[in-house]
Chain A
């Protein structure tokens, strides 16, 4: 049973998330019908599945909420700020209910009661004017009753999902008057009877004023596990007719399925004018079936995806071995096959990658909510804009990115954006803006968070750093270097500590968390113009296209995306180079002799070496290696904790012949090499 609960919790959190998002959108478009529908649907699903899995508190609670939005849906109530506030708090409460499950703490229970009261109050205040309307409606009620015939034949293993078909029937009964006739023809003899299986089906005649959608909604969770056929048989309440009910009871004794045609016959005998209706029914039926057949997406457990990624990685490694073998073997046929396998595995790899990529949109709802609530608490007027929400990232990156981004946003809200009055004084729009921008840049995804707040004062940071003893008072630092100080552990810029931010564990944690996913973060700020934080992230964590090079007897892989050009260079030119720069194509390029950097002796095998020119920040930098082997698809494997300090290597990969090649992180490598230059110079 735990399994079902887990599944429910997973589903419910998705519904809650969807609900939250829809509500936030609703705030901007309070009259948008489809949005209201979406809100309602999410609530309804929550209620239904909550009841089915024994989460009564959730179900009871959403029922109340649903009532409110039913009024909204029917145009009897307007979406207002108050309503959204209550609903959003309710959403939080639902999350708590879901988290704590059975052992609810007293505070949550109290909140539960309080919220329900609030909601009920809300309904009462807002429905006074509505009573008149609904009583009007009441008069026409009997006329809007329709009778449906529902064939519900669950699959034998429906109970494996924890679904009890009888609950569904109960829910149907709540919609209106209903007769359910079981179909028992499939029930086997006692010896073959498996108590875990459901052999029965039902023919249900339902008279209700609800729409056909309300009926199919009842079955929304079992759609795939049953044969369901809903047909309107006439547009009045046929169950009011004693003749009809009698007829049905008669048929029931026969213990045979009644079936739609027979039912229609009975009805048409009852009253002639209904004949027309049957042709209409057919149309309805065809639209119903065509709706079911298309599935645009499926849900897959994430560990299955991880497994797929692992297998793809293994395949790529094995393919490299095959390619190597084919080349040494020399058989043209084998070479052709190997090439084909290479092409296929590359496609498969790209495909598998795109599966684990998810748009950053998934985390934006949370941010939107954060900005909305926090700006209210801080009495600031802030609008949150997200651009490029369709930008996709590896799901593990997204998972690890949410926390640091939350922190950045909190900082922007708390310290960045000023109070409206102050903004007016400064001649700015009283409404502040936080802009989150995501876009692709080469092999990276860049996420920028920009706020038009007060910005960071470099002199303030400088003084604080001096006061904390982080820098010496006479240190010569550029503005960028000063701003970078905020990333040092223990440096919190908030002069007074608030519960929002400023506990001294600020930007350094952000930086570390982003570094954990191989990302980098930079800060730019101008006083009174605002602050921009730029986060640079790798697209994926597991496979990269690289260039295989050799230094002494060790193979290295340099990511292809950073490589600009490769030149052959005379060894003597490298050794005699002044200030470690060479002129290539008329441009002066600084370079690093990797053998030197790695503490190896000079290269002697050949008078020529290769210089690989790569892009580093906005400059071009050369790396000198012994030889270039060729392009290589590298499956990244971690080097392990023991090599955590060797930052210039981001991982290792296994070559076709089983040897290991090291994958270089050129950004960090160059940073390391150039830092070393500075520290060497300083003692002088």
Chain B
């Protein structure tokens, strides 16, 4: 990995999308905001929610749930915006990510992290840095740079149509 410094920080912010728990290295997260007024940008892809006013500058907002092929985020009191610092082709870009709820910051040692499963995962493996088992829960540690700079709509494996069907059923 290129960002060796980021890897040295072993703190991860965990958040939930639906029932699944994900982790993002804290070095990528600048800020956590409550829901605020979103201005829609016409003719943009669905996962691009719009822009928000972040203390005088304009921050694009991504619906993380749509990226993970879940239904559009429904706004609750727990809905949060993570302000991320993303490396997009070498440039540092700030972007907001809508998540269902933010959990906690935990320490995960490198030894606790196992490589992403190559079989049986819904998501393309390059988006996942590793898996960690904390207590009874599995946490998916995400490669935020790749996820939030990729232009594709969904992070699902394209080959596994079966999984997509399953997802579709969940939506209903």
Binding site for B on A (CB under 8 A): 314, 317, 553-555, 597-600, 637-643, 645-646, 648-649, 651-652, 654, 658-662
Q: B58 an interface residue at 8 Å Cβ cutoff?
A: yes
Instruction: Please indicate the chain B residues that have their CB under 8 angstroms from the CB of A643 in the complex.
Output: 41, 44, 48, 51, 60
Do B53 and A654 touch across chains, with their CB atoms under 8 A apart? yes
Q: List 20 A-B contacts (CB under 8 A).
A: A314-B56, A597-B43, A639-B58, A639-B60, A640-B59, A640-B95, A641-B91, A641-B93, A642-B60, A642-B93, A643-B51, A643-B60, A648-B43, A654-B53, A659-B53, A660-B39, A660-B53, A660-B58, A662-B41, A662-B51
CB distance from B3 to the nearest CB of A (A): 19
Instruction: Please indicate the chain B residues that have their CB under 8 angstroms from the CB of A640 in the complex.
Output: 51, 58-60, 93-95
Do B58 and A646 touch across chains, with their CB atoms under 8 A apart? no
Distance of A637 Cα from B93 Cα, bound (Å)? 14
Report, nearest first, the 8 A-B pairs whose CB atoms are least far apart. Answer: A598-B42, A660-B39, A642-B60, A652-B58, A640-B60, A637-B58, A658-B53, A660-B53
Do A662 and B94 touch across chains, with their CB atoms under 8 A apart? no
| Binding site secondary structure of chain B | strand
- Chain B contact residues (Cβ within 8 angstroms of A): what range? 20 to 34
CB distance from A543 to the nearest CB of B (A): 14
Q: A598-B43, A599-B42 are in contact. Are A641 and B53 (CB under 8 A)?
A: no
Do B88 and A641 touch across chains, with their CB atoms under 8 A apart? yes
Do B39 and A662 touch across chains, with their CB atoms under 8 A apart? yes
Interface string of B25-63 (1 = CB under 8 A from A): 000000000000101111110001001110011111010
Of all chain B residues, the one with the shortest Cβ separation from A662 is B41
Instruction: Please indicate the chain B residues that have their CB under 8 angstroms from the CB of A658 in the complex.
Output: 37, 53
Do A554 and B42 touch across chains, with their CB atoms under 8 A apart? yes
Do B43 and A599 touch across chains, with their CB atoms under 8 A apart? yes
Do A660 and B43 touch across chains, with their CB atoms under 8 A apart? no
Distance of A662 Cα from B51 Cα, bound (Å)? 9
CB distance from B144 to the nearest CB of A (A): 14
Q: A317-B56, A639-B58 are in contact. Are A652 and B39 (CB under 8 A)?
A: yes
A555, A652, A658, A660 — which one has the most chain B CB atoms within 10 A of its CB? Answer: A660
Instruction: Please indicate the chain A residues that have their CB under 8 angstroms from the CB of B93 in the complex.
Output: 640-642
Known A-B contacts: A554-B42, A598-B42, A640-B58. Give 19 more (CB < 8 A): A555-B39, A599-B43, A637-B58, A640-B51, A640-B59, A641-B88, A641-B91, A642-B60, A643-B51, A646-B43, A648-B42, A649-B42, A652-B51, A652-B58, A659-B53, A660-B39, A660-B51, A660-B58, A662-B39
Q: Which of A597, A598, A637 is the one whose CB lies under 8 Å from B57? A: A637
Do B56 and A649 touch across chains, with their CB atoms under 8 A apart? no
Distance of A651 Cα from B60 Cα, bound (Å)? 11
Distance of A553 Cα from B50 Cα, bound (Å)? 13
CB distance from A453 to the nearest CB of B (A): 39
Across the A-B interface, how many residue pairs have beta carbons closer than 8 Å?
Answer: 72
Instruction: Please indicate the chain A residues that have their CB under 8 angstroms from the CB of B39 in the complex.
Output: 554-555, 652, 659-662
Q: A317-B56, A654-B53 are in contact. Are A646 and B41 (CB under 8 A)?
A: yes
CB distance from A6 to the nearest CB of B (A): 25
Distance of A173 Cα from B75 Cα, bound (Å)? 82
Distance of A598 Cα from B44 Cα, bound (Å)? 9
Distance of A284 Cα from B58 Cα, bound (Å)? 61
Instruction: Please indicate the chain B residues that have their CB under 8 angstroms from the CB of A660 in the complex.
Output: 39, 51-53, 58
Of all chain B residues, the one with the shortest Cβ separation from A598 is B42
Instruction: Please indicate the chain A residues that have their CB under 8 angstroms from the CB of B44 in the complex.
Output: 643, 645-646
Of all chain A residues, the one with the shortest Cβ separation from B36 is A658
Distance of A597 Cα from B44 Cα, bound (Å)? 12
CB distance from B96 to the nearest CB of A (A): 10
Instruction: Please indicate the chain B residues that have their CB under 8 angstroms from the CB of A646 in the complex.
Output: 41-44
Chain B stretch 107-128: residues in CB contact (< 8 A) with chain A: none
Distance of A554 Cα from B57 Cα, bound (Å)? 17
Distance of A639 Cα from B53 Cα, bound (Å)? 11
Distance of A652 Cα from B50 Cα, bound (Å)? 11
Do A597 and B42 touch across chains, with their CB atoms under 8 A apart? yes
Distance of A314 Cα from B56 Cα, bound (Å)? 8
Distance of A314 Cα from B57 Cα, bound (Å)? 10
Instruction: Please indicate the chain A residues that have their CB under 8 angstroms from the CB of B60 in the complex.
Output: 639-640, 642-643
Instruction: Please indicate the chain A residues that have their CB under 8 angstroms from the CB of B41 in the complex.
Output: 639, 643, 646, 649, 662
Distance of A662 Cα from B42 Cα, bound (Å)? 10
Instruction: Please indicate the chain B residues that have their CB under 8 angstroms from the CB of A648 in the complex.
Output: 42-43
Instruction: Please indicate the chain A residues that have their CB under 8 angstroms from the CB of B94 in the complex.
Output: 640
Q: A639-B41, A641-B88, A659-B53 are in contact. Are A654 and B58 (CB under 8 A)?
A: yes
Instruction: Please indicate the chain B residues that have their CB under 8 angstroms from the CB of A652 in the complex.
Output: 39, 51, 58
Do B42 and A639 touch across chains, with their CB atoms under 8 A apart? no
Distance of A638 Cα from B37 Cα, bound (Å)? 18
Interface string of B50-83 (1 = CB under 8 A from A): 0111001111101000000000000000000000
Distance of A658 Cα from B37 Cα, bound (Å)? 9
Instruction: Please indicate the chain A residues that have their CB under 8 angstroms from the CB of B53 in the complex.
Output: 654, 658-660
Distance of A123 Cα from B62 Cα, bound (Å)? 71
Instruction: Please indicate the chain A residues that have their CB under 8 angstroms from the CB of B40 in the complex.
Output: 553-554
Do B57 and A659 touch across chains, with their CB atoms under 8 A apart? no
Do B56 and A659 touch across chains, with their CB atoms under 8 A apart? no
Instruction: Please indicate the chain A residues that have their CB under 8 angstroms from the CB of B56 in the complex.
Output: 314, 317, 654
Distance of A661 Cα from B39 Cα, bound (Å)? 8
Instruction: Please indicate the chain A residues that have their CB under 8 angstroms from the CB of B48 in the complex.
Output: 642-643
CB distance from A314 to the nearest CB of B (A): 7
Do A639 and B43 touch across chains, with their CB atoms under 8 A apart? no
Instruction: Please indicate the chain A residues that have their CB under 8 angstroms from the CB of B51 in the complex.
Output: 639-640, 643, 652, 660, 662
Instruction: Please indicate the chain A residues that have their CB under 8 angstroms from the CB of B62 in the complex.
Output: 642
CB distance from B163 to the nearest CB of A (A): 27
